[in-house]
Chain A
């Protein structure tokens, strides 16, 4: 009994990498990873594109071939739906790789009336789940299923199965079934599933690759040849690894299917009947939920670092927002956030501030009303490793107080109202700053963000570019402006004769600027000229420098920009950074 492998079922979708990206079987598509084709659509397969080919080979045998790079994360994510569908009627599903799943077949087969019935049920479930997105609709009958003793034999059985016709190897017959297979399948059992892949010979990356190579040189071609050797001799000559491979070749078990434990559902929710008209009532329920969630998580030794609060109102609108916390969220902290969030929603959308409004889910501009359902969804949990506070209270305490204050602000205005700034590479002052919503990782988008020093884009900087951050030529040296206008203000720059000053294509100025006129921003603070309507006040230029040209992406007609910049200092003691683009002047920044 123990010598045979445990009964296992394997289901697979051969073209999963192609299928999961939503391409129909008739599309000429191949998925490429590391310059090798890893999957082909049936149409491409018919055009002689084979798995294992180099990219260029594949292109040469099928000129119209569309090549996609592999998206393993996406494949796994979509495969997860199929796994969940099977898990509904059979526990202990193992994902071998995206597109492959294994299942301990003994119990479910007895329950559903035999291996064939189980195989048909699994195939139907997988196909139904995978075609739910609409992607797999044309792929009908793609799922192949094999049942055999042991995972290895089941994988090969599934690989040789035709769509709709599962291969069931009877109990105890695995050795005979395996015997004709070439030895390469020991290294990569998936090989059998790939049409015509017998000669592909890409067994170099598998587990038993070296062993298979050696056995072939010794003249053994098939699993049957290998299985015929006496086990003690195999152990003596090839060691434990050889013995393990030998057991596989004889149809004995290496390991049983290792079913996964379905991820636990931590969501706590409560229906409110009658609906909570008063905010306080909803907050009260929220506190109780927070307490319950915290106890459940603490019982498992987990803490929640990101939490979504979901609310459904009488009118059927749903509101949802995520809260992030770098430390753990305690029961009281969760309760507090529920209160802030409900208060924030009840006070109405935070659109008046001009900042980006909260993401209100499907509700859109829905009005907040009496609450009928409240749910707390932990989006990120991790093991509780505890926290050590500083002995004198100062350091970590301050950070925690700040985090609390900002969480409060985010509750009032939405998560995209409070920011942290990161310096990054860029040519103008706006590009050099990236605003990151508070709580998200502070990472620059482009390298080369200098600290406090702004270097001139000189030859030495260019020479440094081979190592270290890129130099961003065209950055201005010296003092940075304290006010960088969100949208540049249109300005007029005149010369002594009262004509507009221009900048020629070669970067020369037509005449020295004498006066600058522009209307200050209406929400301007501390601007040198008093805010107000009327004529744009002109001021006399006492000192100036420039123009400094700035040419970006000249090769890209859509996004290319040509600008020239001028620093001017006016009589009133103010200084501005002026920019000329497409024939007009703008005040980009004020040295306020």
Chain B
């Protein structure tokens, strides 16, 4: 009964500070069913071109709003790009080489961090995947699995890059100034119908004006 009363209050006031979805960057928020990353959910970030940039874009919203993020198993993450995308490096922890103990590492991090991105270094056992999913639900953290199509447990949401194009580079002139990514979000429940959107990264200017200043 008390739980019902709480649910009623929550319905009137909106969810409490510990349960509100984590905010996302402007281009991504509209693609997610709740307008943000739901705490306790599992995401899979598809393999392929643009996956790392997409992961950084996903982290930038929560990190900019004060959340703590961790990245496990990505030794070659471009941290200049991370800072450029708006991630606060002071609240970003990196575990580049977790080795065979990676499930314990991720489980420990899920207790303290709001978003944990993991690229599993080897085939994942189903028990580990389920255990980590349960861990993230229990602690209200978001588990994002990067570039691991063989993740044994079904994630709540799948985020993929369906295409994109570059800005600023010509045939022997210019420089890579920015890019557009076409992002598809699909999943269960409210996200059963895939949503598509465009995410713009880098300088929001055309080459002409970039050359002018």
A-side interface residues toward B, CB under 8 Å?
347, 350-355, 392, 394, 398-399, 401-406, 408-409, 412-413, 417-423, 429, 432-433, 435, 438, 442, 451-454, 476-486, 512, 521, 523, 525-526, 528, 543-545, 567, 569, 572-575, 589, 591-592
B79 at the binding interface (Cβ < 8 Å): yes
The CA-CA distance from A476 to B50 in the complex, in Å, is 20
Q: Which residues of B contact A412 (CB under 8 A)?
A: 101, 104-105, 108
Q: Is the CB of A482 within 8 A of B83?
A: no
Beyond A512-B172, A525-B119, A545-B170, 10 additional pairs, beta carbon < 8 A: A350-B99, A399-B68, A418-B95, A421-B79, A422-B89, A454-B84, A482-B77, A483-B77, A545-B169, A572-B49
Q: Is the CB of A353 within 8 A of B99?
A: yes
B-side interface residues toward A, CB under 8 Å?
17, 47-53, 56, 68, 74-86, 89-90, 92-101, 104-105, 108-114, 119, 121, 146-148, 163-166, 168-179, 201-203, 210
Given A401-B112, A420-B92, A435-B94, A528 and B81 contact (CB-CB distance below 8 Å): no
Interface of B is mostly: mixed
Closest residue on chain B to residue A347 by CB atoms: B101
Contact of B80 (CB < 8 Å), options: A351, A433, A486, A528: A433
Q: Is the CB of A355 within 8 A of B96?
A: yes
Q: Which residues of A contact B178 (CB under 8 A)?
A: 478-479
The CA-CA distance from A387 to B112 in the complex, in Å, is 20
Given A421-B89, A423-B80, A528 and B99 contact (CB-CB distance below 8 Å): no
Q: Is the CB of A526 within 8 A of B97?
A: no
Query: Which among B51, B76, B100 has the highest number of chain A CB atoms within 10 Å?
Result: B76
Q: Is the CB of A575 within 8 A of B169?
A: yes
Q: Is the CB of B113 within 8 A of A405?
A: yes
Q: Is the CB of A543 within 8 A of B49?
A: no
The CA-CA distance from A287 to B203 in the complex, in Å, is 55
Contact of B147 (CB < 8 Å), options: A353, A401, A526: A526
Q: Is the CB of B97 within 8 A of A354?
A: yes
Given A420-B89, A452-B86, A526-B51, A478 and B177 contact (CB-CB distance below 8 Å): yes
Q: Is the CB of A523 within 8 A of B121?
A: yes
Q: Would you give the shortest CB distance from B109 to chain A, in whole angstroms?
A: 5
Contact of A420 (CB < 8 Å), options: B90, B164, B176: B90
The CA-CA distance from A512 to B169 in the complex, in Å, is 14
A-B contact number at CB 8 A: 211
Q: Is the CB of B202 within 8 A of A479?
A: yes
Given A479-B179, A543-B171, A409 and B95 contact (CB-CB distance below 8 Å): yes
Q: Would you give the shortest CB distance from A321 to chain B, in whole angstroms?
A: 16
Given A403-B112, A592-B52, A420 and B94 contact (CB-CB distance below 8 Å): yes
The CA-CA distance from A577 to B112 in the complex, in Å, is 36
Pairs A-B, 7 closest by C-beta atoms: A353-B99, A405-B112, A526-B51, A480-B81, A482-B52, A408-B108, A479-B202
Closest residue on chain B to residue A548 by CB atoms: B175
Q: Is the CB of B48 within 8 A of A589?
A: no
Given A413-B101, A421-B94, A481 and B81 contact (CB-CB distance below 8 Å): yes
Q: Is the CB of B78 within 8 A of A353?
A: no
Q: List 23 A-B contacts (CB under 8 A).
A: A350-B99, A353-B98, A354-B99, A401-B111, A403-B112, A405-B112, A413-B99, A420-B93, A423-B80, A432-B79, A478-B177, A479-B84, A480-B81, A480-B84, A481-B78, A482-B53, A484-B80, A485-B76, A512-B171, A526-B146, A572-B49, A573-B50, A573-B163
Q: Is the CB of A544 within 8 A of B171?
A: yes
Given A398-B68, A406-B93, A574 and B175 contact (CB-CB distance below 8 Å): no
Q: Is the CB of A478 within 8 A of B176?
A: yes
The CA-CA distance from A545 to B175 in the complex, in Å, is 6
Q: Which residues of A contact B179 (CB under 8 A)?
A: 479, 575, 591
Closest residue on chain B to residue A353 by CB atoms: B99
The CA-CA distance from A353 to B163 in the complex, in Å, is 34
Q: Is the CB of B89 within 8 A of A478?
A: no
The CA-CA distance from A479 to B175 in the complex, in Å, is 9
Q: Is the CB of B169 within 8 A of A413?
A: no
The CA-CA distance from A160 to B47 in the complex, in Å, is 81
Closest residue on chain A to residue B173 by CB atoms: A545
Closest residue on chain B to residue A572 by CB atoms: B49
Q: Is the CB of B176 within 8 A of A479?
A: yes
Q: Which residues of A contact B17 (CB under 8 A)?
A: 392, 394
